[in-house]
Structure 1
Amino acid sequence: MSSLVSRLFRREKVDRYLETDKKFVKTMSAVDLIALGIGAVIGTGIFILPGTVAATKAGPGIILSFVLAAVVCSTAAMCYAEFASALPVAGSAYSYGNLVYGEIIGWILGWALILEYVLAVAAVSSAWGAYFKSFMSGFGIDVPAAIVGPLDIAHDSYGNWIAIIIVLVISSLLAHGMKTSVRLNNIIVFVKIAIILLFVVVGTFFIKPGNWHPFMPFGVHGVLAGSSAVFFAYLGFDAVSSSAAEVKNAKRNMPIGIIGTLIIATLLYVLVAIVLTGMISYTKLNVADPVSFALQVVHQNWAAGIISLGALAGMFTMMVTMIYSSSRLIYSIGRDGLLPKFLGKIDAHGNPINSLRTITVIIAIMGGFVPLDQLTNLVNIGTLIAFLFVSFGIIPLRHNKEIENSHGFQVPWYPVLPIVSGFLCMFMLTQLQAETWIASSIWFLLGLILYFSYGMHHSRLNQPENADK
């Protein structure tokens, strides 16, 4: 029994990861990382959450809710920044878990992240298809409903083929190398931010200060409830850490990318919340598209159309970041032998092409044919579990003599802040619905069956040449 436990908690060596991952081409800068992060964090939610949460939970106090949620997220962000600075390897929390906790914890974190990435992209690709149909109808172009809906052949609905196409397009871009993909992503992120700022500028002229009174109609409790609701809007910045092996001067640029993402995202969310609740009474904002609705109320219909374009851009960049991150995650698990080793191969261009193709097929099938409405909450649990272990993981990281990070970013107020971050993640996990816990338990049970039946026996740590290392 003790030998099994020691086997499960055997840790990978930092040097092995660095040696394997050096085949990646280091092309990304701090600006590229922030664009990747903003691409993941700022999606359609920025055009919806400030309105609906203000109407139902916080009133104009939604402004404070976003700030409070950002403060909570920033604790985990700093923990990720230290890990990414100290360990510039692919795989994000999966690799960190293998290095500081042991293989079984790394596997659980990797399995949680697969859940997060696959479900998030599949759900967004499905929504992108529906949004694209609506957007094109504004130009008089009718995209047949039969190819933008659920798979229901009996009712002449053949799946969401627009979702499948957009996933394949993004995957094709990523397959051509990160340089081209990053350049395009940066441009679209810039357009997205410009559209958000356009709303802020236009909306500022129609602000009526009276709409901010009362500022906290639901009291402090409402602000806290609003904060819990919008906390999940910030999730995605962790995907930046997947790119560490492809970043120039990772010790410096990874913390800038992760923390910079959170700062800019917070600023954009707060600006939209300030303007939106100032333009129109919070009581009227419980609609499907509150930003477009507010612009239409003040007779700025032209801007409402541009917001639709911003929503499409937001979903596109989110898919770019998550497909990219998931391919690096699958590569990392294949690299260690816990999934088939062909997934851990890197081509001549520094691209993990096998893992990219595999994850693309899975996401395309799920986004095109599987109804995901009840499963998207699982994204949150996968992310929070990773946050939890990364937060507490700072303590064993600092005590690991193999890992030297004297010139990189370090979490301030150690060990208090990592512990606080871990407990905050535990609190957020308690806020999730029972159905989410039940569904995720099934997912993790499947993961453990896969690990004990395949991963543990094929692990690189189980090979004779590594047995005594």
Structure 2
Amino acid sequence: MLETGQAPPLTSGPRKPVNPLLRRKPVEQMVAEGGQGEGGNLRRSLTMWQLTMISIGATLGTGIFVVLGEAAPKAGPAVTISFVIAGLTALFSALSYAELAGSVPVSGSSYSYSYVTMGEFIAWICGWCLVLEYAVSVSAVAVGWGQYLNELLDGTIGVTLPEKLSAAPLGEGGWINLPSLVVVLLAMVFLLRGAKESARINTIMVVVKIVTLVLFIGIGVMGIKSGNYAPLAPLGVTGISAAASTLFFSYIGFDAASTAGEEAKNPKKDLPRAIMLSLGIVTVLYCLVAFVAVGALPWKDFEGTEAALAQIMTNVTGDSFWGVVLAAGAVVAIASVVFAVLYGQTRILFAMSRDGLVPKIFAKVDAKTGAPRANVVIVSLFCGALAAFIPLGELANATSIGTLFAFALVNIAVVILRRTKPDMPRTFKVALFPVTPILGFLACGYMMYSLPVATWVAFGVWMAVGLVVYFLYGIRRSRLATAEVATAEK
């Protein structure tokens, strides 16, 4: 058994220099280091139910409460088909995630899976994509939360926040999106209490959001008009594909359970179950809500609104009370997405920090709460700043491309690990291997291709910054690098 932090022993005989970009972390070492941070350890306290709630919490709400207003004008009534396509794309990758989460149950998610299969450089790229995915996702969802908060305030006390305090200065003419900043800071306060307490709060919020969506389906179905479904695809297949690419953003989060690998009680069994169960529940609810929504409101009327479901509830019942109820549910629902995704981001940075690729402060664990408190504060302030000053649309697209790239790597990783460690114990195996991960990789590539050029440019800039950070900092401070130097000096 390797001591914590040690690289695998070198074999006798002439030493062959290892390309630092290709050095891989042994699976056994990765698992053995699980939970160990600077000054304290993460605590194994999460059950399968709580892990499922983390994934649902990170996923459910985003596409329905926020991005549906952007996707419906692209696909028309066929937006339900777009949800199905995005869900199938997510499913291929979810199967790969489930296998790897059960085999390598650590906090780093796809970053860690890449480290043990493709080497440090690819792992860094994946981790950098995850920073984009999670941090920007938190910010984008927080922006949508502000829209529903205004709906709720208007429906209850007849007051809305002035635009200068509820809109980003970049492209929206405001001073600061204050509600978005506030919800991120509230999530930060809860996360500072530790994983167990955070999971309890998250479970309550997830139950509220599921009940809210079921209520919408029950009331919204009474307002369906068959004419709203014709023509089904007014903008053709291109529109459906474009909407699916945007809606993939709404499935981001099913992998959140994999970031809790070092805080789960029984990670090898519970992580795969939580990932698959959460994706199934979310997909069913998304499709039902989308079908009812476009049936109750003409697809062109979704343009420019990020609070469409509350409007539908009011239109169908003729009573603003139900719109207020929906808005209240959305406020809780979207807050839980912010909360769960922020949790995932902190755990990924925790794993990267433990490997030496980002500063040690991100792996510092509070001995009393078992939470990486400094990590939580830094990430929350960063995400809060993004939410306060950048518009939603660009954030959503940037999140999608980072996620798709990371998912593509996970599909490659599961193939590599099957080839390099065929006898490794696996509590879950991808069906129809290797067809499923190959399809997952191709689907991710297609979805990335469908994204606009501006998103690719932003992604390229982000990756360029990441490469600079890695070659100036990570490559020299990597714990594998320092272990190799120590071994060579003996």
- TM-score under structure 1 normalisation? 0.90
The answer to whether the 8 Å contact 2:249/2:396 transfers is no
Report the more deviating stretch, 26-35 or 123-132: 123-132
Query: SS of 1:110's equivalent?
Result: helix
Determine the structure 1 residue equivalent to 2:458: 439
2:354 to 328, 335, 347: 335
Determine the structure 1 residue equivalent to 2:204: 187
Deviations 1:306-362 (A, max 9, x none): 121122122201111111011111111110111112322222132122221221221
Q: CA deviation at 1:366?
A: 2.5
Determine the structure 1 residue equivalent to 2:366: 347
Distance 1:245 1:151, change over 3 A: same
* RMSD of aligned Cα (Å): 2.8
The answer to whether the 8 Å contact 1:175/1:356 transfers is yes
Report the more deviating stretch, 104-113 or 204-213: 204-213
Correspondence 1:105 to 2:122: yes
Deviations 1:414-455 (A, max 9, x none): 111111111111111111111111121111111111111111
The answer to whether the 8 Å contact 1:51/1:282 transfers is no
Correspondence 1:302 to 2:321: yes
Report the more deviating stretch, 163-172 or 247-256: 163-172
Correspondence 1:412 to 2:431: yes
The answer to whether the 8 Å contact 2:137/2:395 transfers is no
Structure-1 separation of matches of 2:429 and 2:160: 53
1:31 to 26, 45, 49: 49
The answer to whether the 8 Å contact 1:175/1:351 transfers is yes
Q: CA deviation at 1:177?
A: 0.9
Determine the structure 1 residue equivalent to 2:254: 237
Matches within 5 A, 1:248-287: 248-282=265-299, 284-286=301-303
Correspondence 1:291 to 2:309: yes
The answer to whether the 8 Å contact 1:125/1:319 transfers is yes
Deviations 1:264-317 (A, max 9, x none): 111111111232233345455546143233333332432211121122122201
The answer to whether the 8 Å contact 2:59/2:254 transfers is yes
Structure-1 separation of matches of 2:241 and 2:147: 33
- Alignment: residue pair count: 463
Query: SS of 1:8's equivalent?
Result: coil
Q: 1:275 corresponds to which letter in structure 2?
A: V
Determine the structure 2 residue equivalent to 1:11: 24
Distance 1:44 1:323, change over 3 A: closer
Structure-2 separation of matches of 1:219 and 1:164: 38
Extract unaligned runs of 5+ from structure 1.
Answer: none
Structure-2 separation of matches of 1:51 and 1:331: 35
1:173 to 190, 214, 221: 190
Structure-2 separation of matches of 1:119 and 1:362: 10
Structure-1 separation of matches of 2:123 and 2:159: 48
Deviations 1:175-221 (A, max 9, x none): 11111111111111111111111011112333344544555556666
The answer to whether the 8 Å contact 2:181/2:385 transfers is yes
Q: 1:15 corresponds to which letter in structure 2?
A: E
Determine the structure 2 residue equivalent to 1:202: 219
Q: Percent identity?
A: 34
Q: 2:364 corresponds to which letter in structure 1?
A: K
Structure-2 separation of matches of 1:372 and 1:231: 15
The answer to whether the 8 Å contact 1:14/1:403 transfers is no
2:387 to 363, 367, 378: 367
Correspondence 1:314 to 2:327: no
The answer to whether the 8 Å contact 1:51/1:276 transfers is no
Deviations 1:370-397 (A, max 9, x none): 5565344211111011011101111111
Matches within 5 A, 1:440-459: 440-459=459-478
Query: SS of 1:89's equivalent?
Result: coil
Report the more deviating stretch, 238-247 or 76-85: 238-247
The answer to whether the 8 Å contact 2:151/2:327 transfers is no
Structure-1 separation of matches of 2:392 and 2:486: 43
Structure-2 separation of matches of 1:211 and 1:150: 33
Structure-2 separation of matches of 1:443 and 1:275: 38
Q: 2:118 corresponds to which letter in structure 1?
A: Y
Structure-2 separation of matches of 1:52 and 1:366: 20
Structure-1 separation of matches of 2:487 and 2:423: 20
Q: CA deviation at 1:54?
A: 4.4
Query: SS of 1:394's equivalent?
Result: helix
Distance 1:453 1:213, change over 3 A: closer
Correspondence 1:461 to 2:480: yes
Q: CA deviation at 1:249?
A: 1.4
Correspondence 1:384 to 2:400: no
Q: 1:30 corresponds to which letter in structure 2?
A: M
